[in-house]
């Protein structure tokens, strides 16, 4: 899994690349937590280059959203491919997480 | 004056010969021993003086008979340096410049007369014989010169022979390259029951650039070809090697003989200064369907022997020989082989084999042979063809390579045996990564769409995570086995583990309507599995948990 982030005004953009699954979610979770530890409150996670997200991935996205919301921040997610969208639908995550179509959409007015 | 003979003066040796001969002649003419020696010395003096020029002088001997007396007369004939009259004068009665001969000046020396009575003709004959006889030294010289000539011609012979040997060794090297390129081990694919192939190549002593190749492109496509390169020796062998390599490497990603031949032709016709070319028949057999796609580039038309006994000549031409002209588009044809159908390929070494009376074997004879013969196996087919050529050829020499290749399509058993993939992993989470690679490869191979591929990845991630994390009570190593198969556009997955009895689908679906704060973390996996697959089930089989999954594949776009 490839992880990278960049600061955009008051927002931090995190890009993930690979599968967000059993074996990679731990690493991704740590990465996201470190960002929050460092003071990030407004976070956009771009899944454009993520092939599939399993429940383990959903779990860390949910945990991150929960933690940010507890800190008075918030999480936006964008770049879902068809399968990931379907997984978000099936799991109901599309209604409980803030999902945007593109990175631009997610950054706009954040 | 009676002419006795002439002695050519070539060199010091002939000077000595002249001396000896003059002495012998003088003695026979009954000159005293002292006188004879004197005359001999005088003639060699004169002859030696003649040697100074570069044109060959001669010493001519005459005798003059007057009554009972005879005298020896020596003519030194030389165009350039006749002997000094004064130096000779002391030896003879008289020395004078005689009338010039056509080819030189003559100095004539008269020896004193000797009373010998009449010289009978027998003595004159003897004198002539002495003069003509070759002396030992002269003979030696002649033998030496003959020897030198002999040595020369021997050297010549050696040079010729070594050139021939070089040529032959070049032919042998070419032959070795040729033979080393051929797949010679048969059965070539012992574990395959859906087809069989056999081939034989008998190289001629000199001419010949035949080759063949046979290989599986993948599990379902068998490629075979027969070709004949123009020329011989190392260049032909190298051209052949390049041709064969180009065909094989192109066929790895190209299932069209027309396209392969076009490509190989383009490659070979570039930088082909030696203007070599190659005839090729190339076939690709789809082992699932028996469909044979083939292209013929200037090669002898092969035969198809149907299992019904019918013989078909594959006489379509799909382009000229390979390598002669660039940028040509070759075409191809297709036919369907039924189980038991056999193709028979050959080179012109077969049809142009000659019997001792120079009659050609001919394609007709081959046709008639294959038409009546029952060809039980590919090996038998090859043997039948080759044996008939030998029989026809008799004691005549084999003029060209003889190559025969035969392929039989056996077909696959008519079962619903689906394409299967089996994989075993151990109970470690990192192993899921390996499963993902297999799923991707399986999807690629069967043309599954990205959505299906991702869902398969998701399903394995969820179920294997579950099993590996919760199914084992000990810390030991366990094996988890997965199979994936496709049958009639439906994908079947089975996952078998030896963990504690556990039905993953017993869990009730999580309430996805709960708000984010109210939802427990995790527990979604099975829910996802149920939803992305069409059908899920579980069974406890002995000491194993077996999870079955099914999904209808969307193949309507094909």
Q: Examine the pLDDT at B2 and tell me if it is beyond 90.
A: no
Least confident of A37-46, B350-359, B406-415: B406-415
B558 confidence band (pLDDT: 50, 70, 90): very low
**Mean of the per-residue pLDDT values of chain B:** 86
The SS3 call for residue B537 is strand
Q: How far is B509 from chain A (nearest CA, A)?
A: 10
Q: Quick one: what percent of chain B has pLDDT higher than 70?
A: 93
Cβ contact B285:B337 at 8 Å: yes
Residue (of B188, B200, B196, B210) closest to B385 by Cα position: B200
With CB atoms and an 8 Å threshold, state whether A51 touches B454: yes
CA distance B359 to B351: 11
The beta-carbon neighbor of A22 closest among B450, B465, B519 is: B465
Chain A residue nearest residue B450, CA to CA: A83
With CB atoms and an 8 Å threshold, state whether B528 touches A54: yes
With CB atoms and an 8 Å threshold, state whether A23 touches B458: no
Q: Examine the pLDDT at B521 and tell me if it is beyond 70.
A: no
First-to-last C-alpha distance (Å) of chain A = 27
Q: How far is A87 from chain B (nearest CA, A)?
A: 7
Chain A residue nearest residue B526, CA to CA: A55
Q: Is A49 on the interface with B (CB under 8 A)?
A: no
Higher pLDDT, B93 or B381: B381
With CB atoms and an 8 Å threshold, state whether A54 touches B532: no
With CB atoms and an 8 Å threshold, state whether A66 touches B517: yes
Q: Examine the pLDDT at B549 and tell me if it is beyond 60.
A: yes
Q: Quick one: what percent of chain B has pLDDT higher than 90?
A: 41
Q: How far is B305 from chain A (nearest CA, A)?
A: 52
Q: Is A3 on the interface with B (CB under 8 A)?
A: no
Helix boundaries (H) for B270-400: 348-351, 363-372, 378-393
Q: Examine the pLDDT at B519 and tell me if it is beyond 60.
A: no
With CB atoms and an 8 Å threshold, state whether B461 touches A21: yes
Q: Examine the pLDDT at B53 and tell me if it is beyond 70.
A: no
Q: Examine the pLDDT at B186 and tell me if it is beyond 50.
A: yes
Contacts with B519 from chain A: Cβ below 8 Å? 62, 96
Q: Examine the pLDDT at B255 and tell me if it is beyond 60.
A: yes
Per-residue model confidence as pLDDT tens digits over B197-223? 999 999 887 656 899 999 999 888 999
DSSP string, B455-502: HHHHHHHHHHHHHHHHS-SSSS--EEEEEEEEETTEEEEEEEE-SS--
Q: How far is A54 from chain B (nearest CA, A)?
A: 5
For residue B187, cis peptide bond before it (omega within 30 degrees of 0):
yes
State the complex-level ipTM.
0.91
Residue (of B347, B200, B207) closest to B279 by Cα position: B347
Mean pLDDT of B38-60: 82
A/B interface, count of CB pairs below 8 Å? 84
CB-based contacts of B432, cutoff 8 Å, min separation 6 = A21, A22, A23, B425, B460, B461, B464, B465, B468
The beta-carbon neighbor of B516 closest among A65, A83, A86 is: A65
CA dihedral B467, B469, B472, B478 (to 10 degrees): 70
The beta-carbon neighbor of A87 closest among B433, B458, B464 is: B458
With CB atoms and an 8 Å threshold, state whether A87 touches B532: yes
Q: What is the DSSP letter of B520?
A: P
CA distances from B192 to B335, B336, B409 (A): 22, 19, 11
Least confident of A74-78, B127-131, B478-482, B548-552: B127-131
Paired tokens of B557: 């776009």
CA distance B448 to A23: 24
B414 confidence band (pLDDT: 50, 70, 90): low
CA distance A64 to B168: 81
Q: Examine the pLDDT at B522 and tell me if it is beyond 70.
A: no
Cβ contact B3:B60 at 8 Å: yes
Per-residue model confidence as pLDDT tens digits over A87-98? 999 988 888 899
Per-residue model confidence as pLDDT tens digits over B280-307? 999 999 998 899 999 999 999 999 999 9
CA distance B468 to B477: 10
Contacts with A74 from chain B: Cβ below 8 Å? none
Q: What is the DSSP letter of B360?
A: B
Quote the pLDDT of residue A11: 92
Instruction: Pick the most confident of A95-99, B15-19, B373-377, B380-384.
Output: B380-384
Contacts with B462 from chain A: Cβ below 8 Å? 54-55
With CB atoms and an 8 Å threshold, state whether B522 touches A54: no
Paired tokens of B178: 């040729």
CA distances from A102 to A52, A65, B444 (A): 17, 18, 28
Q: Is A52 on the interface with B (CB under 8 A)?
A: yes
Residue (of B533, B543, B411, B523) closest to B484 by Cα position: B533
Q: Is A2 on the interface with B (CB under 8 A)?
A: no
Paired tokens of B242: 């390049």
Per-residue model confidence as pLDDT tens digits over B299-349? 999 999 999 999 999 999 999 999 988 888 999 999 999 999 999 999 999
Mutate to test the interface with A, among B434, B438, B458, B551 (most CBs of A within 10 A): B458
Quote the pLDDT of residue B132: 82
The beta-carbon neighbor of A90 closest among B519, B523, B527 is: B527
B508 confidence band (pLDDT: 50, 70, 90): low
Mean pLDDT of B545-550: 92
Q: Give kind and range of the element (H or E) at residue B130.
A: helix B121-132
Residue (of B389, B467, B379) closest to B429 by Cα position: B467
B514 confidence band (pLDDT: 50, 70, 90): low
With CB atoms and an 8 Å threshold, state whether A19 touches B524: no
Q: Quick one: what percent of chain A has pLDDT higher than 70?
A: 100
With CB atoms and an 8 Å threshold, state whether B436 touches A19: yes
Contacts with B465 from chain A: Cβ below 8 Å? 22, 54, 56
């Amino acid at each position: 899994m490839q992880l990278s982030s960049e600061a955009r005004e008051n927002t931090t953009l995190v890009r993930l690349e690979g599968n967000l699954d059993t074996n990679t979610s731990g690493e991704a979770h740590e990465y996201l937590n470190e960002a929050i530890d460092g003071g990030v409150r407004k976070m956009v996670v771009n899944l454009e280059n993520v092939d599939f997200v399993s429940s383990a991935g959903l779990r860390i996205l949910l945990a991150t959203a929960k933690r940010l919301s507890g800190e008075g921040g918030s999480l936006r997610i964008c770049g879902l491919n068809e399968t990931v969208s379907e997984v978000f639908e099936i799991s109901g995550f599309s209604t409980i997480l803030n999902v945007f179509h593109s990175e631009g959409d997610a950054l706009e007015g954040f | 004056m009676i002419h006795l003979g002439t002695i050519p003066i070539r060199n010091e040796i002939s000077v000595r010969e002249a001396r000896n001969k003059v002495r012998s002649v003088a003695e026979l003419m009954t000159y005293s021993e002292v006188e004879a020696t004197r005359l001999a010395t005088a003639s060699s003096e004169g002859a030696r003086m003649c040697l100074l020029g570069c044109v060959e002088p001669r010493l001519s001997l005459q005798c003059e008979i007057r009554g009972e007396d005879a005298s020896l007369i020596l003519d030194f004939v030389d165009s350039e340096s006749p002997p000094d009259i004064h130096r000779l004068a002391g030896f003879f009665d008289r020395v004078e410049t005689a009338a010039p001969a056509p080819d030189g000046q003559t100095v004539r020396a008269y020896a004193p007369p000797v009373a010998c009575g009449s010289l009978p003709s027998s003595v004159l004959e003897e004198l002539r014989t002495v003069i003509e006889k070759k002396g030992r030294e002269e003979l030696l010289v002649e033998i030496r010169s003959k020897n030198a000539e002999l040595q020369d011609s021997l050297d010549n012979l050696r040079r010729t022979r070594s050139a021939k040997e070089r040529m032959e060794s070049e032919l042998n090297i070419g032959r070795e390259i040729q033979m080393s390129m051929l797949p010679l081990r048969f059965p070539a694919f012992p574990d395959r029951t859906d087809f069989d192939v056999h081939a034989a190549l008998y190289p001629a002593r000199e001419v010949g650039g035949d080759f063949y190749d046979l290989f599986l492109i993948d599990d379902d496509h068998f490629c075979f070809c027969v070709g004949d390169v123009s020329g011989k020796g190392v260049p032909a062998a190298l051209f052949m090697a390049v041709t064969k390599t180009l065909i094989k490497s192109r066929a790895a990603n190209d299932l069209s003989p027309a396209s392969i031949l076009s490509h190989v032709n383009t490659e070979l016709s570039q930088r082909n200064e030696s203007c070599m070319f190659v005839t090729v028949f190339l076939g690709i057999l789809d082992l699932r369907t028996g469909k044979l796609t083939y292209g013929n580039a200037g090669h002898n038309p092969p035969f198809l022997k149907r299992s019904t006994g019918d013989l078909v000549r594959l006489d379509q031409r799909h382009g000229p020989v390979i390598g002669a002209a660039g940028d040509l588009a070759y075409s191809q044809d297709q036919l369907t082989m039924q189980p038991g159908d056999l193709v028979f390929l050959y080179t012109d070494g077969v049809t142009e084999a000659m019997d001792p009376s120079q009659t050609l074997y001919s394609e007709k004879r081959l046709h008639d042979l294959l038409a009546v013969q029952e060809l039980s196996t590919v090996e038998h087919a090859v043997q039948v063809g080759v044996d008939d050529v030998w029989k026809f050829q008799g004691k005549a020499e084999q003029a060209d390579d003889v190559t025969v290749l035969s392929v039989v399509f056996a077909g696959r058993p008519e079962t619903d045996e689906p394409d299967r993939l089996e994989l075993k992993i151990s109970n470690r989470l990192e192993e899921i990564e390996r499963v993902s690679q297999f799923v991707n490869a399986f999807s690629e191979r069967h043309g599954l769409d990205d959505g299906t591929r991702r869902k398969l990845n998701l399903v394995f991630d969820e179920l294997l995570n579950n099993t590996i994390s919760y199914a084992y009570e000990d810390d030991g190593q366990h094996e988890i086995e997965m199979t994936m198969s496709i049958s009639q556009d439906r994908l079947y997955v089975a996952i078998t583990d030896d963990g504690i009895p556990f039905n993953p689908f017993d869990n009730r679906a999580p309430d996805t309507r709960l708000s984010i704060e109210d939802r427990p973390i995790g527990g979604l996996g099975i829910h996802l599995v149920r939803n992305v697959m069409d059908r899920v089930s579980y069974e406890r089989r002995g000491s194993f948990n077996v999870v079955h999954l099914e999904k209808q594949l969307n193949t309507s776009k094909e």
